[in-house]
């Protein structure tokens, strides 16, 4: 987006056509890439579920892989543009027939209106406003998501018992590549965008990483139906603290393109 002295220069057509443009033009809501997350605290918890439940949530041609799901509960302490907030990302391993793979997100929840808007408008992430939380209660870490007065996700792990190599967090599937279904309509209701998008975080610097046993509890909520990925077996949890940068991603499947 063209650099400007906000409030002093009138918006131009070139500004509107530039990548990263957001409304209202004199107080843009959507952060342009790149923007950075500093000192983020994350509780990542894995559990085994029913593979049929994963496949039910995977949009074709995305195929769910394995039988493991994770949730990342983020305490974003210092984020460019957006400020401090909490977020939760539910993911499972996935692949496409064209050979691309990563982790598909059927549900995301966060307590930032700007974060919700950015995720939905740019990445196509299915973000909804909720109240994720990450707390230290004595010798226990407790994370979760509250929406509509219901704790739809509650996860726990002991407080910092086993330091580990952060690479171990990707033993179940590589969640570093996030896949999303982006769906945007024209004003007349016809499809404008129908894509599978892909993005990775860059400049990831992990300051600490701890592993421990996990508990996972899911409660039904029709507006946050994470219960569709039932807990067959809780596996393990990781608490980690890191810096990272969100950059542009790519379109890896376009439903509206010819010969898609």
Q: Is 127 a catalytic residue?
A: yes
Q: How far apart are CA 123 and CA 141, in angstroms?
A: 30
Cβ atoms 143, 132 nearer than 8 A: yes
Cβ atoms 233, 45 nearer than 8 A: no
Measure Cα distances from 124 to 40, 250, 251 in Å.
22, 12, 11
Cβ atoms 98, 250 nearer than 8 A: no
Catalytic residue among 75, 95, 127, 182: 127
Q: Where are the beta strands (DSSP E) in the chain?
A: 35-48, 63-76, 78-79, 85-95, 101-110, 127-129, 131-137, 140-147, 150-158, 162-163, 177-185, 191-212, 215-218, 233-246, 250-254
DSSP per residue, 192-232: EEEEEEEEEEEEEEEEEEEEE--EEEE---TTS-GGGS--S
Q: Put the strands of the sheet holding 140-147 in their side by side order.
A: 131-137, 140-147, 150-158, 215-218
- Of 77, 60, 86, 29, whose CA–CA distance to 179 is shortest? 60
Q: How far apart are CA 153 and CA 151, in angstroms?
A: 6
Residues, the chain, total? Answer: 260
Structural tokens at position 25: 């033009």
Cβ atoms 177, 194 nearer than 8 A: no
Q: Which residues carry out catalysis? A: 127
């Amino acid at each position: 987006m063209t650099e400007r002295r906000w409030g002093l220069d009138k918006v131009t057509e070139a500004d509107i056509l530039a990548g990263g443009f957001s409304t209202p033009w004199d107080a843009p809501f959507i952060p342009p890439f790149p923007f950075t997350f500093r000192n983020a605290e994350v509780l990542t918890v894995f559990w085994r579920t029913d593979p049929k439940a994963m496949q039910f949530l995977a949009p074709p041609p995305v195929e769910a892989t394995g039988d493991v799901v994770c949730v990342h509960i983020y305490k974003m302490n210092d984020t460019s543009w957006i400020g401090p907030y909490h977020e939760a990302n539910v993911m499972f391993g996935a692949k496409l027939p064209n050979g691309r793979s990563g982790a598909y997100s059927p549900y995301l929840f966060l307590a930032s209106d700007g974060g919700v808007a950015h995720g939905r408008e740019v990445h196509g992430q299915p973000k909804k406003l909720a109240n994720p939380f990450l707390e230290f209660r004595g010798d226990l870490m407790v994370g979760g998501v509250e929406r509509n007065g219901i704790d739809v996700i509650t996860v726990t792990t002991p407080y910092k018992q086993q330091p580990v190599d952060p690479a171990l967090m990707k033993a179940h599937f590589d969640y570093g590549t996030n896949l999303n279904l982006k769906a945007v309509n024209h004003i007349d209701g016809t499809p404008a965008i129908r894509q599978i998008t892909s993005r990775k975080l860059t400049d990831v610097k992990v300051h600490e990483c701890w592993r421990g046993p996990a508990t996972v509890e899911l409660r039904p909520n029709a507006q946050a139906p994470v219960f569709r990925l039932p807990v067959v077996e809780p596996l393990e949890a990781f608490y980690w603290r890191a810096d990272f940068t969100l950059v542009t991603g790519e379109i890896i499947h376009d439903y509206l393109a010819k010969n898609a």
